[in-house]
Every structure is written in C-alpha cells, then in structure tokens.
Amino acid sequence: MKDMSESASNFIHDFIDEDIREGGRYEGMKVHTRFPPEPNGYLHIGHAKALYIDFHTAEKYGGLCNLRMDDTNPTKEDEEYVDAIKEDIHWLGYDWGDRFYYASSYFGQMYDYAEELIRKGLAYVCELTADQMKDMRGDLTKPAVSPFRDRPIEESLDLFARMRAGEFEDGRMTLRARIDLSSGNFNMRDPVIYRINHMRHHQTKDTWCIYPMYDFAHPLEDAIEGITHSLCSLEFESHRPLYDWVIENCSVPAKPRQIEFARLGINYTVLSKRKLRNLVENHLVSGWDDPRMPTLCGLRRRGYTPESIRSFHERNGVSKVNSVVDYAFLEHCLREDLNRTARRVMAVIDPVKLILTNYPEDMTETFEVENNPERPEDGTRIVRFSRELYIESDDFMEVPEKKFFRMFPGNEVRLKSAYVIRCTGCVRDDSGRLLEIHAEYDPNSRGGNTPDGRRVKATIHWVDSKTCVSAEVRLYDSLFTVAEPDLADCNYLDFLNPESLKVMSGAKVEKSLADAKPGSGFQFLRLGYFCADSKDSSPERLVFNRSVSLKDSYKS
C-alpha cells in the first residue's frame, strides 16, 4: 500500500496533534483507532470512507487500527456478513493484523460496568413499556419523566440480575442510565442502556438474554481495547456527551475520545443500507454485488480497483460538511488508475461488417499492436487481419453530420495499427438495414502510415471477422436518473434508471481476449474500461462489464 504518512491533513489530525503533543491528553501514547461495522449488511463506498479515515489515521501516526464487529443487537445481525466484511476490507488493502474483535465478547465486562453504575446510583431498572417511555419522553421544552428513577439501588441490582437470569419477557423492563430527564439533549434523558431480548446471538449463543445499547456499549468497547480516537460519523455528535459520561462514570482502563466527521454522499446513487437492501430484495438489481451497486462487492465486480477507491477518498478529504460528491469524480479516479495499468485491446460492441474490396480473398496477415502506450514495457501483441473485418456501427455514417470524421463514403480513415482505407459505400437490405460497409485499402500504408505522408483524421478500432471471438458486453449507467434520489425520501425508486444496464449480446472481441480471466480488466480501445465478469464470464461464454467509458469530446 502507498505510504500515507504524508497524506493530506484534516481537522481530525489537528485534534490528534494536540492530543499527542506535550501536555496533551494522550502524550506519549500510540494512536489507536478502530473500524466497527455492524454485521448486518454489506460494506459500501461510504464505509470505505470510514475505513480510509480509521486505517490511514492510525498509519499516519504509526499507530494501529482494530477491526471490531459491533454486534450488540442479535435481532439484526448475522454471522454471514462477517466474512464478507473481512473480505471487502482486505480487498481494499487494509489489514487489522491479529486485532479482530467482537463487541459481544465484552458482554461480561459490560454487565459488570452496568452493575457499577447501579451501585453508584447512576442507573436503575425502569418498568415503563416502550410506548409509555415514548409518551413520557417529554418534548423540546418539557422534561421526561420516569416513576422508577428513584428505585432503591438494591432493588435495581436484584431486578437487573433477574433480567439477566431470564425471568422477564422481552420489553418487560430496561436498565436506564440516571442522568438528566430535563436535558435539552434527548440522548441524556435517562437513556436505556440494556434491554431484554430473548434471542440467540450468533456469537454468544444463548448466554445472554439482555443486550447493551450502542450508547453504553460503544464507549466501553473502545475503552476496553485501548482506543485513543474513536472516529465516527456526524449523527453521533449529539451522543458524545453520553459517550463521555459512560467513560467518566465506569471505571474503564482508558479514556478514548470520539471525533465525528461527515459521511459520504454521492449523486445518482443511494448510500443507505436500507435503500440498498430494498433494491436487492425487490430484485431491482441482481444482488448486493450487482455491478451497479455502490457496495464494495458491486464496485469490485464492476471493475473498480482498490487504488481508485482509496484515491477517491483521499482526494475528497475529510470535513464536517454534509456533502454530495459528483459521481463523475469517482469515475475520474477509476480512469486515472486504469489508464496507467490497463492493457489495450480491440473489441467491437455493436459490429457491422467491413469488406475491403481490393484485398485478396485468401490473404491474411498479422500486425503488432502495443499493449499500453502509457507503459511501453508492457510490450506488444499480434493481431490477425483479413479481407472481412468488423467495425463499430457508430463509426460509420452514410451521410456524415458536421464534425464527423470517421467512416463515410469517400473518406479515408486508419484501421488501428493496420492500413489506411477509403470508404467506397455500403450495402443495405430492402428495409434499409445496414448489412456491410465497403472500402478499399492502401497496400502501401501497412502499419497505418501513408507513403506520401498524407494525414487521416480518424483512427478506428476493428477485429478480424475470421478469428474474432463473440462476447456479451454489459453497458452500465447510473442507477438513478436524478442527482439526489435520496432527497425525496419516499419515492426514490421512482427515479430508477431504466437504462442502467444495456446488454450487447453480439459483440466481437479480438482473439487475445478468448481466455480473459474473470475479474481481469482491459481498455477496449476508444470505448472504455471493461472487465470480465467475475460470476458469468468463462472461456465458453465471455461476458464483459463496462467499468467506465472513456471520455469523449465528440459531440454531434
């Protein structure tokens, strides 16, 4: 991985600089962060921002970053997500060493801390039902109420023990922190810190029937692991007083500091687990790894590289402003990476036959073509050429519009690395459908250079009709037709792009692609970057996904 020790600074680093310098709260300590996903779904590019921040911050300061499953709610979580999360993180290029943890493995300690709070008179068992608690929460001006907050300590201790022992059904009672029922910050109005849930947990099995709430559990998890900086998103800002309260009132071994940053938004897509799940469950996409999905597995299948995603986050920066980044910027980062690494090949997505009428019927020859002009060390390959070829139907216009300088009757173009040819006409069937294009080649232009030095404006790609291989090419576009489908919270599905996937089943690709390994990426000359689909492509049936098109300054 690229050395990030000199990467762009941000406000979080400014805080850390203060914390670790002489007199700071963590003077002389190693910076320690954590990435704490809840195992209830797949990671998406928004999580990658958090990963970027957590891992690179640790790296910048020579510290460590833990991976921790924040699994405090068995109702929503499942082990099946754990391995997928690990795989995605490793794919992105991050490593947590031997520091992989489950929050659930701290349940015993958390229980003890809860008891400590009760003994200190800072927590109590409340028998309000969920509805009652809601009714008694108060509002912006009126404080909350709980008839149980002055319950004797011994009684709460006993009840809490019996909660744990399974004596009560779900929802019968809760453990609440005793903080401030009249706080302007609702999170401090005696928040519930333990609830009863008789559900088997994927890690702790049937050991527990009470589970700690996020606000209580998270600061304890951080403290237990010796985290110095607990970096999270903006919506937890108003929870920080509670985070600090827990750290202050439980006798924990460390005092982590929570710092919040803005989560990522990208236009023309959605980035909430709920909405992504919706797309999957309603079969609006083929799955979590559909190449149109902003999930890491979706982006991977689409052909995005880890480097492009890391670069995207690094260059976007970190701030506290709610932002929506242009999708075009993500695409830019991908093109930038692929431009310097991707092998160039020729593929014709929407083929039309080109016949070189003055080229001998039985002749065939080969040409040497560079694999990547950006990287000569990648060498060359041999492509075959003969009388009948395929070219892109978009590269021909019988009646050219202004500024079109590719194939049209009378015009000369170059077939990439082969010959200069002059279009002589075309053949159509009765209904006007284009059947074939005719042209004459200049035998003296072998390789593409004219003997008299005359210039041609266009160079087009082609494949040999005899040796080319058939393939399916999937052209992807944005999932939504509006920039911010998230804004209309109710009907974002109304803005699904019906053309987000176009399948081109009759593509012809050069022979060298016949054994393209699933997942491998290429630049299809003049078209874009494509990768062999990791699920559906095989030597018997080649399938390529368009990762991103090339920029095109041609405007008709």
Give catalytic residue positions.
38, 263, 273
Give yes or no for residue 405 binding RNA (CB under 7 A).
yes
Interface with RNA (CB under 7 A), residue total: 92
**Closer CB to RNA, 224 or 285, in the complex:** 224
Stretch that binds RNA, among 90-98, 127-135, 292-300, 497-505 (CB under 7 A): 127-135
Q: How many CB atoms lie within 10 A of CB 419?
A: 25
**Closer CB to RNA, 178 or 195, in the complex:** 195
Q: What CA–CA distance (Å, rounded) separates 64 from 95?
A: 10
Pattern of binders to RNA over 349-378, x per CB under 7 A? -----------------------xxx----
Give yes or no for residue 447 binding RNA (CB under 7 A).
yes
Among 213, 246, 270, 531, binds RNA (CB under 7 A): 213
**Closer CB to RNA, 100 or 405, in the complex:** 405
What are the strands of the beta sheet with 521-524, ordered from one edge? Answer: 343-345, 521-524, 528-532, 542-549, 469-476, 501-509, 347-348
Query: Six-digit token pair at 553?
Result: 């300054």
Among positions 314-353, residues that touch RNA (CB under 7 A) are 315-326, 328-329, 332, 335-336, 339, 344
Among 236, 243, 304, 522, binds RNA (CB under 7 A): 236
Among positions 3-22, residues that touch RNA (CB under 7 A) are 9-11, 14
How many Å separate Cα 88 from the centre of its chain? 9
Among positions 247-286, residues that touch RNA (CB under 7 A) are 262
- Convert 313-343 to b/e letters by CB count within 10 Å (16 or more is b): bbebebeeeeeebebeebbbbbbebbeeebb
Among 33, 57, 73, 228, binds RNA (CB under 7 A): 73
Stretch that binds RNA, among 79-87, 231-239, 513-521, 535-543 (CB under 7 A): 231-239
> Cβ 235 to RNA, closest distance in Å?
4
Among positions 505-544, residues that touch RNA (CB under 7 A) are 523, 525-526
* Helices and strands of the chain, counted as H and E runs: 12, 25
Among positions 101-120, residues that touch RNA (CB under 7 A) are none
Among positions 450-509, residues that touch RNA (CB under 7 A) are 455, 458-460
Distances (CA, A) of 21 to 18, 152, 228: 6, 45, 14
> Cβ 535 to RNA, closest distance in Å?
27
> Cβ 553 to RNA, closest distance in Å?
4
Give yes or no for residue 551 binding RNA (CB under 7 A).
yes
> Cβ 371 to RNA, closest distance in Å?
9
Closest Cα to residue 415, out of 385, 444, 393? 385
Q: What CA–CA distance (Å, rounded) separates 378 from 343?
A: 8
**Closer CB to RNA, 166 or 447, in the complex:** 447
> Cβ 457 to RNA, closest distance in Å?
8
| 3-class secondary-structure state, position 17 | helix
Among positions 139-198, residues that touch RNA (CB under 7 A) are 139-141, 170-171, 173-174, 184-187, 191-192, 195-197
**Closer CB to RNA, 296 or 525, in the complex:** 525
Pattern of binders to RNA over 407-436, x per CB under 7 A? -------x-xx-------------------
**Closer CB to RNA, 46 or 534, in the complex:** 46
Q: How many CB atoms lie within 10 A of CB 227?
A: 25
Q: What CA–CA distance (Å, rounded) separates 292 from 277?
A: 13
The 3 state secondary structure assigned to 150-176 is CCCHHHHHHHHHHHHHCCCCCCCCEEE
CB 125 within 8 Å of CB 174: yes
**Closer CB to RNA, 28 or 453, in the complex:** 453
384: left (phi over 0), alpha (psi -120 to 50) or beta: beta
> Cβ 435 to RNA, closest distance in Å?
22
**Amino acid in position 220:** L
Query: Six-digit token pair at 72?
Result: 């405090």
**Closer CB to RNA, 491 or 553, in the complex:** 553
Q: What CA–CA distance (Å, rounded) separates 13 from 16?
A: 5
Stretch that binds RNA, among 27-35, 90-98, 124-132, 504-512 (CB under 7 A): 124-132
Residues 6+ apart with CB under 8 A from 172: 127, 196
> Cβ 429 to RNA, closest distance in Å?
26
Give yes or no for residue 128 binding RNA (CB under 7 A).
yes
Closest Cα to residue 504, out of 407, 393, 397? 393
190: left (phi over 0), alpha (psi -120 to 50) or beta: left
The angle at the Cα of 21, spanning 15 to 24, to the nearest 5 degrees, equals 70
**Closer CB to RNA, 218 or 546, in the complex:** 218
**Closer CB to RNA, 94 or 462, in the complex:** 462
Among 87, 115, 180, 237, binds RNA (CB under 7 A): 237
Q: What CA–CA distance (Å, rounded) separates 287 from 535?
A: 12
> Cβ 188 to RNA, closest distance in Å?
8
